[in-house]
């Protein structure tokens, strides 16, 4: 029987390399990125310079070809210092994964080299305001016109919208067709006529990662921009999420680890009643629970990442489980980190309040944790 996963020396070397980059060039800007709700350009540049911008892109397209576990480690380590910045490699994988799963060789050759080189980012356009968990009820339409397709509609909650140059967009191509099998996937470019962006959303956390709507008003794209076969878009989209929920779990691990590290450092220094508060058993029990749950989440996430790399049949279950458990743990650990700092945890002088706000989204995007439990329950009962 083979191991569920095994960390190699290369994986540990990647972790060390990313951590050095994060500590030197990403974490020092995280508070300013959050305070000013600005894109983390310093992180962007540092990730491009070190080949961590889109590490999952295969070598044949100019990428480094990092496996799913290595990519998860990159995202985890970036999120430890700045969750907004971790969305750069995470969303590049999310946006390009449909092309990797269902795209032709021609479309991969067209888009992947620019992403691998850090010249362009890739975002993902699935959700709509009235089609979040119920993705099959989307209203965005793509209509054939000669050799082209013409898109009309609105996509919502699109991460890094306006920054990315490429967007994988799902649209209904057969309004009278069977529900869920009447949707196709397309690559839309930022420069396409009829394609524009809404205002940036004002958010609780991940403020450095712009979230905007995508507007399509008679947006004409060439026929060769379809990803996979007509009518296969939603299938490809859901297969994508099976893989990329692992990256959200990794993101949750990172922010939880960052909060735990900071809280431990603080309680070792903070004194009450003549001794460090870390010597009080009540706080030791809190830290013990935080560490235990974080490590359990890490083991589940890494196992899911290995299953993603192998494309195992039970990836759907493991991806959902990792995402749900790790994000719930991250919310709990970051909240407890604020508690451990007391009043200091509630002010912006310390990063744990930002981490708590950032952690919340991991329970929501790429499928709420309630949806993850539906996925798991159905697979267990099948």
Residues forming a β-bridge with 153: 216
Contacts of 230 (CB under 8 A, 6+ apart): 173, 174, 184
**Catalytic: 42?**
no
Query: Choosing from 77, 128, 309, 366, which is the catalytic residue?
Result: 366
Q: Which stretches of 61-130 are assigned E, i.e. beta strand? A: 122-125
d(CA 339, CA 215): 42
Instruction: Tell me how far apart the alpha carbons of residues 178 and 232 are, in angstroms, rounded to a whole number.
Output: 12
3-state secondary structure of 202: coil
* CA dist list (Å): 53 to 74, 86, 95, 132, 149: 9, 9, 13, 27, 31
Q: What is the Rg, in whole angstroms, of the alpha carbon atoms belonging to the chain?
A: 21
CB 153 within 8 A of CB 141: yes
Instruction: Of 248, 283, 204, give the one whose Cα is nearest residue 89.
Output: 248
Q: Kindly list the catalytic residues.
A: 366
């Amino acid at each position: 029987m083979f191991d569920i996963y095994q960390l190699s020396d290369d994986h540990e070397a990647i972790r060390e390399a990313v951590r050095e980059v994060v500590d030197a060039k990403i974490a020092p800007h995280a508070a300013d990125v959050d305070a000013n709700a600005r894109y983390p350009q310093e992180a962007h540049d540092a990730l491009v310079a070190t080949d961590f911008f889109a590490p999952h892109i295969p070598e044949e397209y100019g990428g480094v070809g990092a496996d799913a576990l290595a990519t998860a480690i990159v995202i985890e380590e970036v999120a430890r210092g700045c969750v907004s910045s971790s969305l750069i490699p995470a969303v590049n994988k999310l946006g390009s994964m449909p092309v990797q799963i269902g795209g032709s060789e021609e479309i991969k050759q067209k888009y992947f080299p620019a992403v691998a080189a850090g010249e362009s980012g890739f975002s993902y356009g699935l959700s709509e305001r009235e089609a979040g968990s119920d993705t099959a009820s989307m209203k965005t339409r793509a209509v054939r016109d000669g050799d082209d397709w013409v898109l009309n509609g609105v996509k919502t909650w699109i991460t890094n919208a306006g920054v990315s140059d490429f967007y994988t967009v799902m649209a209904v191509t057969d309004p009278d067709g069977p529900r869920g099998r009447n949707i196709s996937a397309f690559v839309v470019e930022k420069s396409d006529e009829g394609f524009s962006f809404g205002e940036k959303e004002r958010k609780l956390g991940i403020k450095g990662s712009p979230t905007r709507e995508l507007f399509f008003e008679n947006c004409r794209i060439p026929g060769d921009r379809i990803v996979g076969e007509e009518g296969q878009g939603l299938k490809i989209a859901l297969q994508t999420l099976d893989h990329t929920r692992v990256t959200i779990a990794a993101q949750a691990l990172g922010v939880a680890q960052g909060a735990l590290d900071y809280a431990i450092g603080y309680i070792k220094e903070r004194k009450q009643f003549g001794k460090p508060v870390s010597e009080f058993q009540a706080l030791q029990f809190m830290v013990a629970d935080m560490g235990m749950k974080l490590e359990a989440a890490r083991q589940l996430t890494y196992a899911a990442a290995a299953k993603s790399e192998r494309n195992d049949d039970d990836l759907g279950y493991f991806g959902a489980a990792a995402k749900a458990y790790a994000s719930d743990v991250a919310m709990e650990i970051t909240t407890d980190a604020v508690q451990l700092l007391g009043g200091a945890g509630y002010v912006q002088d310390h990063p744990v309040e930002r981490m708590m706000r950032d952690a919340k989204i991991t329970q929501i995007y790429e499928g709420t944790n309630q949806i993850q439990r539906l996925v798991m329950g159905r697979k267990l009962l099948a």
